[in-house]
Amino acid sequence: MKTYIRTCVFLLSIAVLLLGGCAGKDGAAGTMGKQGVTGPTGATGQQGTAGGLGLVISSLSATPDPIIPNRTAIAVVNAYDVSGGTLTYTWAGSDGWKVTGYGMTATITAPAAYNAAGSITVTVDDGVTSVTGTTVLSTMPQLIINTFATGYDPGGIAIDVSGNVWNTNYDSSGTVSGMSLTGTTLGGPFPAGSYPWGIAIDASGNIWIGNAGDGTVSELSPTGTTIGGPFTVGRGPEDIAIDASGNVWITNYQDSTVTELSPTGTTIGGPFTVGSGPNCIAIDASGNVWVTNFGTDTVSELSPTGTTITTVTVGNNPNGIAIDPSGNIWVSNEGDNTVSELSPTGTTIGGPFAVGVEPQGVAIDASGNVWVVNYYGNDPNGYSPGTVTELGPDGTIIANYSAGFYPAGLAIDALGDVWVANYCGGQDTGETGGTVTEIVGVTKGPEYWPYTGPQFPGGGNNGYD
């Protein structure tokens, strides 16, 4: 578990309040006495409840703690009343910590500053008496950005169900690198085909790689061993997506087509014609396939059988693509430094939203926020590191974060860390080796995927043109 993303459970021992009334006196035979004042006859007398039998808060917890500034956490209180009374809950925060209570749970919004302390309280009432629990929370002491070395020219990036991070290294003797969430190498680099770029991971943890240089797809085991392929597809395979049936869909940039493979690598569909220069690909909850066409400034929607449903114009040179929890499609437009939002039927409903220079990969977090990597950051000359822009569901910029030089793809892990593949490790050249950037705890993980059933890990990888 990350240093700053942990669950803190606060056990607040509260003395049991045994303030029950005394047993009533014997009343007339057959007449029920008032509870706690005049009891029923003989052995059937009952204990009064004027003071309650006991109200206890057994635990109060907040997750996560520390909290990212301006982000939310969930607080939960466990309380019980021995007398079985109906409980009500009143929540409050201090020192800029906002609390909205919903019975036993509350949403906490942290202040904007790093290293900010505060407290929350909850008062539990049974109608007779009440008890109060208090706990102290804090925001992260500072933003943490880690950088790890990887292979040459990393582009695509994905995260498996164990939390391991995998990236393709775009070179003629192409390889794939893997590391743990702490940045420890998993061995390798592992061989793939020529100039590997796109990457996706299936429900079994197997890694699928699009090799742009030789028109093939490779399949690796969760430990990096080659277990399938090379499977021949079209020319210049760029991006990969896996549907709910485990079928593998690949964009073929040079052929302007899409190919579908079975989970065993057999071609079962296509090539399906789309627009010119298809780059990125995503699959919605209905199994429809969405493709960005870099050369024609359009997005194509295909049915699960490969039939074209619609083609919609977006910005200049569309590249990355991802689908949010509402089924809306988000597209990065590399040529005009914007992001477009489409409805599930392909109608433009948002944008263009301005981001950084040459936006590439796109990913959606569990809150529906949109994450975009900007290849040149805010400098069109490429003399400064790239950036990562976070947009709210309405397209408003929430924050910008630093990355390495020429970031291309990104993925979000289950702890809320954003991982970025930086095509160049140093300024203005791809010959110094690549890096992977980890931006710690800045969102609610894991990355959103529009499937039910098994988690399909992966990243919002861009197609490099």
Average pLDDT of the residues in 9-18: 30
pLDDT tens for residues 16-57?
Answer: 322 333 333 333 333 333 333 333 433 333 333 333 458 999
> What is the residue type of 164?
N
Predicted pLDDT at 24: 37
pLDDT (mean) for 167-184:
92
Q: Is 328 exposed, middle or buried (0-12, 13-18, 19+ CB in 10 A)?
A: buried
Q: Which tens digits make up the pLDDT trace of 284-304?
A: 999 999 999 999 999 999 999
Which residues are paired to 51 by β-bridges?
A: none
DSSP characters over 249-261: EEEETTTTEEEEE
Is pLDDT of 427 > 70?
Answer: no
**Mean pLDDT, all residues of the chain:** 84
Contacts of 26 (CB under 8 A, 6+ apart): 39, 41, 42, 45
- pLDDT of 295 reads 97
Confidence tier at 106 by pLDDT (50, 70, 90): very high
Instruction: State residue 286's pLDDT score.
Output: 94
Cis peptide before 457 (omega within 30 of 0): no
pLDDT at position 64 is 85
In angstroms, what is the C-alpha Rg of the chain?
28
48 vs 322: CA distance, rounded Å:
62
Contacts of 180 by beta carbon, 8 Å cutoff, 6+ apart: 163, 164, 165, 186
Instruction: Give the span between the Cα atoms of 81 and 16, in whole angstroms.
Output: 9
Predicted confidence at residue 464, as pLDDT, reads 52
Whether 280 contacts 239, CB under 8 Å: yes
Of 120 and 416, the one with more pLDDT: 120
Task: Assign residue 414 a region (left: φ > 0; alpha: ψ between -120 and 50; beta: otherwise).
Answer: alpha
Segment (H or E) for 423:
strand 418-424
pLDDT per residue as tens digits for the range 205-254: 999 999 999 999 999 999 999 999 999 999 999 999 999 999 999 999 99
Tokens (6 digits) for 100: 């909205």
Region 102-127: what's the mean pLDDT?
Answer: 91
Are the CB atoms for 194 and 213 separated by under 8 Å?
A: yes
The tokens for 117 are 């302390």
Q: 350 phi and psi, to 5 degrees? A: -160, 145
Listed in sequence order, the residues at least 6 apart from 28 whose beta carbon sits closer than 8 Å to its beta carbon are 41
Quote the percentage of the chain above a pLDDT of 90.
Answer: 65
CA distance 414 to 275: 34
Tokens standing for residue 200? 């996706």
pLDDT of residue 125: 94
Residue 177 has what pLDDT? 96
Residue 411, phi then psi, degrees to nearest 5: -150, 160
Taking residues 157-185, report their average pLDDT. 92
Q: pTM of the predicted model, to two decimals?
A: 0.76
Side by side, the strands of the sheet bearing 237-242 are 237-242, 248-252, 257-261, 267-273
Residue type, 372: V
The pLDDT assigned to 16 comes to: 30
Show the beta-strand stretches assigned E in 26-149. 55-63, 72-81, 88-93, 98-102, 105-109, 117-125, 130-138, 145-149
Among the listed ranges 33-47, 48-62, 94-108, 336-350, which one has the minimum average pLDDT value?
Answer: 33-47
Instruction: List helix spans (H) across 32-72.
Output: none
Per the model's pLDDT, the better-predicted residue between 273 and 101 turns out to be 273
Which of 68-72, 242-246, 262-266 has the least mean pLDDT? 68-72
Q: Name which residue leads in pLDDT, 334 or 432.
A: 334
* Average pLDDT of the residues in 403-414: 92
Domains of the chain by range and CATH?
8-17+52-138 (2.60.40.10), 145-439 (2.120.10.30)
